[in-house]
């Protein structure tokens, strides 16, 4: 099966968020299942620089062509590279669409304010993808698009390229990574697309008088996916649908959720270079103790605290439920029941609130403001529990990383969190399915009760050991996710 994987970013070439991790890892997993995958991304300045830094040569293909963009024709040049290949795995080709005016810029999408011509840039990219696909030697079976930046691709394939043999029979998939980002632009940007104005209506491309590129992709794609089954249900009603819940509900028969994977080579306690002692499920106690010693030293303590260690690692933003974490620290900081470490960066007001809380309980709370990949790995290994109390969470990776390291997640029942963590109760313990602690209400008291349940379980060595070993045995690799996507592709082909 031949798959064209279209994204606005892909690791290690260019990254602003989780989309890049998906586009950088899922194609390789699909290739290991026998798919012939080609990835297409823009040739950002960052992408070219990062390719060199990772020893991934970029070479010109010699392919150039004009791309219609409103009344203009803009030239695209195609570069070629490859994703880093795992040992024994097929190599995945990456094609980069180059146009310096569009993509030779300091950042991918803009700074604190988006680039004002993002509609132009990604209309050009989407149309260039179809022009590129039409110039291939063999046709594609599936065109898999990601987020609003590629939302025009399914529309172009259905409306303008239906007679081109390399793409006319392809089935299109639109994956939504976060409904909050939809690519909404003023109505006159419709002129850039080259599509008939008749499609600018409330059922297809128009959204409260504006052009909505994510909506366009959802309407015209053959299948719509998002990054967890629960999130797929949540976005079919308000507020999860962010204004598109009616459209998504109308497409429920074509909508599904597939949980993201993680790179189990990068996040692997048996090989991780960022932790002092490697460990597996049968040696987790020794490995985690060594990590606690190393973390204590890193944080300026002579010896590690003997209390359970509860961590938060992530963006300091309202979406991540950090306001609940701050309240929790105020409630439990003086009780002596646990030690806390918070690692992250984000909202200035949240950072200051955390600083004040840490200064109030200096013997109980360690705060590190900033992003440090090595320290994030060390915290995951050292912690006993990981807080993930998100307001909403399409998939979530922190809880998957935590379980990989035998760190028990405490999560709110939303999105991918509830799809990946099974609450610990007497029934789930007997059934052997428990993997964490789940709370429902977005409320600090509900979080506190979940934490107290976790601390009670931690006091029972047999229960805790079984939990740790169980979560470390779970498979959250991209290979698992890829199998579900391949099933989807094959079902579409039969349809």
pLDDT reported for residue 87: 76
Q: Which of 205, 147, 154 is nearest to 175 (CA)?
A: 147
Pairing of strands 309-313, 437-439: unpaired
pLDDT reported for residue 88: 72
Instruction: Output phi, psi for 362, to 5 deg.
Output: -65, -25
For residue 383, what pLDDT band results from cuts at 50, 70 and 90? very high
C-alpha span between 117 and 385 (Å, rounded): 44
Please report the sign of the dihedral spanned by the C-alpha atoms of residue 109, residue 113, residue 117, residue 122: positive
pLDDT reported for residue 237: 97
pLDDT reported for residue 17: 85
pLDDT tens column, 243-259: 999 999 999 999 999 99
What strands lie across the sheet with 59-69, from one edge to the other? 59-69, 72-82, 93-98, 36-42, 2-6, 142-146, 171-176, 223-226, 255-257
C-alpha span between 321 and 314 (Å, rounded): 10
Please report the sign of the dihedral spanned by the C-alpha atoms of residue 241, residue 202, residue 164, residue 82: negative
Q: Are 434 and 461 contacting, i.e. CB atoms less than 8 angstroms apart? A: no
pLDDT tens column, 316-337: 999 999 999 999 999 999 999 9
Instruction: Output phi, psi for 16, to 5 deg.
Output: -120, -20
pLDDT reported for residue 311: 98
Q: Are 352 and 316 contacting, i.e. CB atoms less than 8 angstroms apart? A: no
For residue 18, what pLDDT band results from cuts at 50, 70 and 90? confident
Q: Kindly state the average pLDDT of the residues 463-467.
A: 97
pLDDT reported for residue 371: 86
CATH 3.40.50.2000 fits 281-476, yes or no: yes
Instruction: Output phi, psi for 3, to 5 deg.
Output: -120, 130
For residue 493, what pLDDT band results from cuts at 50, 70 and 90? confident
3-state secondary structure of 300: coil
For residue 495, what pLDDT band results from cuts at 50, 70 and 90? low
pLDDT reported for residue 112: 86
Q: Kindly state the average pLDDT of the residues 227-238.
A: 97
Crossing angle of the two packed helices 284-298 and 461-473, in degrees rounded to 10: 90
Q: Where are the alpha helices (DSSP H) in 333-475?
A: 348-360, 373-382, 398-404, 415-420, 426-431, 444-458, 461-473
Question: pLDDT > 70: what percent of the chain?
Answer: 100
Q: Are 195 and 130 contacting, i.e. CB atoms less than 8 angstroms apart? A: no
Class of domain 2-261+479-494: alpha beta
Beta bridge partner(s), residue 142: 3, 171
3-state secondary structure of 86: coil
Q: Which of 97, 186, 85, 89 is nearest to 150 (CA)?
A: 97
Delimiting residues of CATH 3.40.50.2000 domain(s) in the chain: 2-261+479-494, 281-476
Q: Which of 223, 263, 186, 361 is nearest to 22 (CA)?
A: 263
């Amino acid at each position: 099966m031949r798959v064209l994987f279209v994204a606005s970013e892909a690791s290690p070439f260019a990254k602003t968020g989780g989309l890049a991790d998906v586009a950088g890892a899922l194609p390789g997993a699909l290739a290991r299942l026998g798919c012939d995958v080609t990835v297409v991304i823009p040739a950002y300045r960052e992408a070219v620089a990062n390719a060199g830094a990772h020893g991934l040569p970029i070479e010109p293909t010699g392919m150039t062509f004009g791309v219609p963009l409103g009344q203009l024709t803009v030239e695209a040049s195609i570069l070629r590279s490859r994703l880093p290949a795992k040992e024994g795995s097929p190599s995945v080709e990456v094609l980069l669409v180059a146009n310096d005016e569009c993509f030779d810029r300091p950042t991918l999408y803009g700074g604190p304010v988006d680039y004002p011509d993002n509609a132009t840039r990604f209309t050009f990219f989407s149309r260039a993808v179809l022009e590129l696909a039409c110039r291939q030697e063999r046709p594609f079976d599936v065109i898999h698009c990601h987020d609003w930046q590629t939302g025009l691709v399914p529309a172009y394939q259905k409306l303008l390229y239906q007679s081109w043999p390399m793409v006319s029979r392809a089935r299109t998939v639109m994956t939504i990574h976060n409904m909050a980002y939809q690519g909404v632009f003023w109505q006159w940007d419709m002129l850039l697309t080259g599509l008939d104005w008749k499609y600018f209506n409330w059922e297809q491309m128009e959204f409260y008088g504006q052009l909505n590129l994510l909506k366009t992709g959802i309407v015209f794609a053959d299948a719509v996916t998002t990054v967890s089954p629960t999130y797929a249900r949540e976005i079919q009603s308000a507020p999860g649908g962010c204004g598109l819940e009616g459209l998504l509900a109308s497409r429920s028969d074509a909508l599904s959720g597939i949980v993201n994977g993680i790179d189990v080579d990068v996040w692997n306690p048996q090989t991780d270079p960022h932790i002092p002692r490697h460990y597996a499920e049968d040696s987790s106690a020794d490995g985690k103790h060594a990590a606690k010693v190393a973390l204590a030293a890193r944080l300026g303590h002579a010896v590690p605290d003997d209390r359970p260690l509860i961590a938060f690692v992530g963006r300091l933003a309202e979406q991540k439920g950090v306001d609940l974490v701050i309240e929790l620290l105020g409630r439990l900081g003086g009780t002596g029941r646990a030690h806390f470490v918070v690692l992250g960066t984000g909202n200035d007001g949240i950072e200051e609130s955390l600083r004040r809380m840490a200064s109030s309980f200096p013997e109980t709370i360690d705060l590190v403001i900033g992003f440090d990949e090595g320290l994030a790995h060390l915290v995951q290994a050292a912690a006993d529990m990981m807080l993930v109390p998100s307001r909403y969470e399409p998939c979530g990776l922190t809880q998957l990383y935590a379980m990989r390291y035998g760190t028990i997640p405490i999560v709110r029942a939303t999105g991918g969190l509830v799809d990946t963590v099974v609450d610990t109760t007497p029934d789930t313990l007997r059934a052997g399915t428990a993997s964490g602690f789940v709370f429902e209400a977005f409320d600090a008291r509900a979080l506190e009760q979940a934490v107290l349940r976790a601390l009670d379980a931690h006091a029972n060595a047999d229960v805790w050991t079984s939990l740790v070993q169980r979560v470390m045995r779970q498979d959250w690799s991209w290979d698992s996710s890829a199998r579900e996507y391949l099933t989807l592709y094959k079902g579409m082909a039969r349809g």
